[in-house]
Amino acid sequence: MRRIAAALAMPALLWAQAHIFVFHRFGDTRHPTTNTSIPTLKAEFDYLKQNGYEVVTLSRIARALQRGEAPDDRWVALTIDDGYRSFYDNALPLFKTYRYPFTLFVYTEASEKGYGDFMSWEQLAEAAKYGEIGLHGDGHLHEVSESNETLAADTARGIALIRKHLGITPRYYAYPYGEYDTRVRSLIQSFGFDLVLNQNSGAVDASSDPHNLDRIALTGKNLIQNKLRIGRFDAQWICPTKWPKDGRLKEIHAKIATTSNTAQLYVSGYGWRRVAVREGEIREKLDLPLKKRRTRLFLKVANRQNGIILVKE
């Protein structure tokens, strides 16, 4: 992560931000929390088209970051996790009609073993004609709970299966469940992926780390207009960086790139609260029992966000 001083030295670049969105299921009312209806998807596509947004590939964003260039404000990348068959049956025709590219992050074990609800390798090969293929892990593991050996084997197996069936070496990786920590991140990065994506709300600018890119979830109602207002800012999370041993969140300590003297802090199960910013740092004493196995923490200033996910191992 770039230092705050460096980020503040490039205000013109930081305001140029692209957005990456993530979908899961389409037209599948059995799973409302991860589903996007086809009328909603069409409305989102119409909004992008009518308001001058350009739907780009992750490859284009990767090239910009590699060159140190600021992504265009009007760039939007669309990603789909898991490889559910509802994408192939219900959404792919609409992507083809609008000629919108996408990146499909594949849960390879599901396709290899023919799990119900997931695309076959033949269907993935057909989808790959219109978009890019990334890896979402072989076994869709809770990675922070697994050993390095297990994670390395899982990742290698997923890469090998995509190569075998699709003739593609995946250049992009998305964490299953959006869960990662410093150890997991280092191991996944060692495989040489061009981009690694999380599931934290934010945007992509010239200072973004290619191995820790934010993605915004799009499910349920058509909220794309509001989600496109979410921006990114640099934050160095000092404490916490992993699940507290006693399950209680006792302190937030972060360095953030802002001239504001206040920020908003979100904790899963507790909502938003105002916190003080002093000389670019937040130090907030808390005593909150964490209610969920996966707890999201977000810092927000003027609709620019940075976040992490704490996961109980």
Q: Do residues 240 and 299 touch, judged by C-beta distance below 8 A?
A: no
In angstroms, rounded to a whole number, what is the distance separating the alpha carbons of residues 22 and 217? 5
Decide: helix, strand or coil at residue 111.
Answer: helix
- pTM, two decimal places: 0.88
In single-letter form, the type of residue at position 251 comes to E
In angstroms, rounded to a whole number, what is the distance separating the alpha carbons of residues 18 and 15? 10
Predicted confidence pLDDT, tens digits, the chain (313 residues): 333 333 333 333 345 799 999 999 999 999 999 999 999 999 999 999 999 999 999 999 999 999 998 899 999 999 999 999 999 999 999 999 999 999 999 999 999 999 999 999 999 999 999 999 999 999 999 999 999 999 999 999 999 999 999 999 999 999 999 989 889 999 999 999 999 999 988 899 998 999 999 999 999 888 899 999 998 888 888 999 888 989 999 999 999 888 889 999 999 999 999 999 999 999 999 999 998 888 989 898 888 888 888 888 7
CB neighbours of residue 48 within 10 Å: 21
Separation of first and last alpha carbons in the chain: 25
- Sorted by sequence, the CB contacts under 8 Å of residue 247 that are 6+ apart come out as 289, 290, 312
In angstroms, rounded to a whole number, what is the distance separating the alpha carbons of residues 307 and 300? 9
Hey, what domains does the chain have and what are their CATH numbers?
Answer: 4-232 (3.20.20.370), 235-311 (2.60.40.10)
